[in-house]
């Protein structure tokens, strides 16, 4: 929306301007940031802190001495996670996420305790097929590097109810596309469903689509994050985390389906 406002302002004034400014910001209140996820193959918990805007993005502090564990509520079994390979990323090989189970991630840093709960949906939903076609363009057909814009469509099927929530990871030649891609099918009326994505590709690219079936709270969290990044709201707030108010971040337990295609004729 902001983009459209900018377009409008520029248009009507023929002279709107953007410039970088120095601005006084409210005092900083650093909070812990926990990104935890769990699926049937692997798991990972990353712990850092928020920093003032003036700090470089390279310098997010890492927390390597936290005590992290995941409990399978359904089985009533706990697993400890350790940071072995990378200082701020904790994981365990003994835990494989199972459909329908509810998991609780517990993190203790110093004297503070944080926990969040997430449930893997009952049934794994698989990607049925992926198709693509060239997008309509006006003016330039290709940007630099011979890339062309396409519309990618991902098909799957599921009963009309209950609603499903997804997060997609799209990789182009093993490199993850930047962005957060969330979708839901709450109002879909048929069993065969699809979602569309915009991409720029060149011939022979390998596109891998990873469809993560997440729970509703995590979906809402990522929708909040997308709105947060866009800065469209008149009254922005922190995304509602399943950890509660005292810490930033999320815990996502999900089932996963992957499929790849190769871009041939463009």
According to CB under 8 A, which residues from 212 to 241 bind other proteins?
Answer: 220, 222-225, 228-229, 231-240
49 beta partners: 32
Of these, 8, 160, 203, 206, which contacts other proteins (CB under 8 A)? 8
Residues in binding contact with other proteins, number by CB under 8 A: 85
Residue 163, both tokens = 């609603």
Please report how close the Cβ of residue 226 comes to other proteins at its closest, in angstroms: 9
Query: Does position 57 bind other proteins by CB under 8 A?
Result: yes
Residue 156's closest CA among 122, 185, 181?
185
Q: Which range in 75-83, 98-106, 173-181, 205-213 contacts other proteins by CB under 8 A?
A: 173-181
Q: Which range in 50-58, 79-87, 93-101, 113-121 contacts other proteins by CB under 8 A?
A: 50-58
Q: Is the preceding peptide bond at 77 cis, omega within 30 degrees of 0?
A: no
Query: Does position 249 bind other proteins by CB under 8 A?
Result: yes
Of these, 5, 86, 160, 203, which contacts other proteins (CB under 8 A)? 5
Please report how close the Cβ of residue 42 comes to other proteins at its closest, in angstroms: 16
Q: Is 167 helix (H, G, I), strand (E, B) or coil?
A: strand
Query: Does position 16 bind other proteins by CB under 8 A?
Result: yes
Query: Does position 161 bind other proteins by CB under 8 A?
Result: no
Please report how close the Cβ of residue 227 comes to other proteins at its closest, in angstroms: 8
Q: Nearest 5 degrees, angle CA 124-CA 127-CA 128?
A: 120
CB of 32 or CB of 72, closer to other proteins:
32
Residue 218, both tokens = 């995590």
HSE on the CB side for 128, CA within 13 Å? Answer: 10
**Diameter of the chain measured on Cα atoms:** 64
Dist CA 199 CA 147 (whole Å): 9
Query: Does position 26 bind other proteins by CB under 8 A?
Result: yes
Q: Is 61 helix (H, G, I), strand (E, B) or coil?
A: coil
Residue 190, both tokens = 């048929």
Query: Residues 133 to 152: which contact other proteins by CB under 8 A?
Result: 135-140, 149, 151
């Amino acid at each position: 929306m902001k983009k459209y406002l900018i377009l409008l302002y520029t248009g009507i004034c023929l002279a709107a301007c953007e410039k970088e400014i120095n601005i006084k910001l409210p005092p900083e209140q650093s909070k812990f940031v926990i990104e935890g996820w769990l699926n049937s193959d692997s798991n990972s918990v990353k712990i850092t802190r928020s920093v003032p805007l003036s700090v470089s993005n390279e310098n997010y502090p890492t927390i390597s001495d936290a005590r992290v564990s995941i409990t399978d509520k359904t089985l009533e079994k706990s697993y400890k996670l350790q940071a072995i390979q990378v200082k701020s990323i904790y994981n365990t090989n003994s835990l494989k996420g199972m459909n329908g189970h509810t998991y609780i991630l517990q993190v203790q840093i110093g004297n503070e305790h944080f926990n969040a709960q997430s449930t893997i949906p009952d049934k794994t939903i698989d990607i049925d097929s992926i198709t693509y076609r060239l997008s309509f363009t006006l003016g330039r057909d290709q940007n630099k590097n011979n890339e062309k814009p396409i519309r990618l469509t991902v098909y799957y099927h599921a009963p009309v109810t209950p609603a499903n929530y997804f997060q997609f990871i799209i990789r182009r030649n093993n490199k993850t596309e930047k962005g957060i891609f969330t979708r839901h099918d709450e109002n879909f009326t048929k069993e065969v469903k699809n979602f569309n994505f915009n991409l720029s590709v060149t011939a022979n690219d390998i596109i891998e689509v990873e469809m993560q079936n997440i729970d509703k709270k995590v979906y809402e969290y990522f929708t909040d994050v997308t709105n947060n990044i866009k800065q469209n709201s008149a009254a922005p707030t922190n995304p509602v985390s399943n950890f509660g108010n005292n810490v930033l971040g999320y815990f996502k337990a999900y089932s996963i389906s992957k499929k790849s295609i190769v871009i041939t004729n463009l």
